[in-house]
Chain A
């Protein structure tokens, strides 16, 4: 049995996952990074992407996240996500709906801030489309 680290995936609404894992790959703002036990202390922001959870030498769970923060200590990895969806629930119809909504928001945007946020939502929905099943 390989060494494990404790992974926690937390969204504002609830605790999604809290379990010992062998490795986790997190979509950091400056690129995907893998976290193994005894990783150095790290605090990173996340970009839209997929978290891969490895147990028993294979990917056991995959979550799509829209953004958030990851805190890594030697023994644990805490991921605070804005929104996380198990990859299996990410359907094409769902993504298309998200994209349409984001585009509608873009059209309705009045201020600069609104425009920036809508653009973010579009980027997010497009990134999601890559992983849709």
Chain B
């Protein structure tokens, strides 16, 4: 039986935990709004980039550069696992890691070579246990406040350099697509070679290219990669805050329940003690 003092201490500690979780929930809510705005603001660029790319890819003669057409092989896969740098956001990180694990296992079963690029500390920490020797690199420097394009560019540059050096044939990103504050879906997306969006037939007019179409394509593709990475990072950031908000909300609710339970127990114990003392006094008086 816990003493009254123990119970008081516990109630106080749960109360301060509740204060922390509810503050974290507020912070996550405001960060979520900011992350959503950022994701929305980045959309026009990605849309127009996609349009240009589909125009270009439609007009270039057979294949195009390897970033679009592939290396012709399918042996070495790069898996880019995007997670958060921090925990305390419910199942967010573990869901992404689970998705990544599934993909890695599939690829390994098919006899492919797998390389892992971790973006975010949590993914690395999780995957390190099983796939230590497959992880080629980790990027953790991003998303201090909001995701900057330059941060996405660092990741994209790494991927481009590796591709140019012939270190992999196919690259796939794993990240959480933001649906709502309540639900985020872990998603796989192939980024190299880039699947060309279907071209609308109306836009088949002939463009003039300055300089040549291949030159444009050569500079457009790495940029497109950076945009895709940027987009994924933004989605991930919004998802992380959403998951954090939900997790902290339920933590706050749990704390409230716990405080209620403990307060009830405290009162009962106190009452029992009073009753016991009374009984002692009365029976003492009767004995005389």
A→B interface (CB under 8 Å): 8, 10-15, 28-30, 40-45, 69, 71, 78, 80, 82, 113, 117
B41 near A15: Cβ-Cβ < 8 Å: yes
B211 near A12: Cβ-Cβ < 8 Å: no
Interface centre among B42, B56, B226 (most CB of A within 10 A): B42
B→A interface (CB under 8 Å): 38, 41-42, 44-45, 48-49, 51-52, 55-56, 148-149, 152, 157, 161, 205-211, 213, 215-216, 219-220, 223, 226-227, 230
How far is it, in angstroms, between the C-alpha of A42 and the C-alpha of B207 when the chains are bound?
Answer: 5
Nearest CB in chain B: distance from A80 CB, A: 6
B52 near A69: Cβ-Cβ < 8 Å: yes
Nearest CB in chain B: distance from A116 CB, A: 11
How far is it, in angstroms, between the C-alpha of A10 and the C-alpha of B223 when the chains are bound?
Answer: 14
Asked if A43 meets B216 with Cβ closer than 8 Å, knowing A12-B149, A13-B149, A14-B41, the reply is yes
Nearest CB in chain B: distance from A25 CB, A: 15
How far is it, in angstroms, between the C-alpha of A45 and the C-alpha of B215 when the chains are bound?
Answer: 9
Interface centre among B208, B210, B213 (most CB of A within 10 A): B210
How far is it, in angstroms, between the C-alpha of A28 and the C-alpha of B210 when the chains are bound?
Answer: 8
How far is it, in angstroms, between the C-alpha of A117 and the C-alpha of B206 when the chains are bound?
Answer: 33
**Complex contacts, A30 vs chain B, CB 8 Å:** 210-211
Nearest CB in chain A: distance from B37 CB, A: 9
A12's nearest neighbour on chain B, judged by CB, is B149
User: Which residue of B38, B52, B207 contacts A80 across the interface (Cβ within 8 Å)?
Assistant: B52
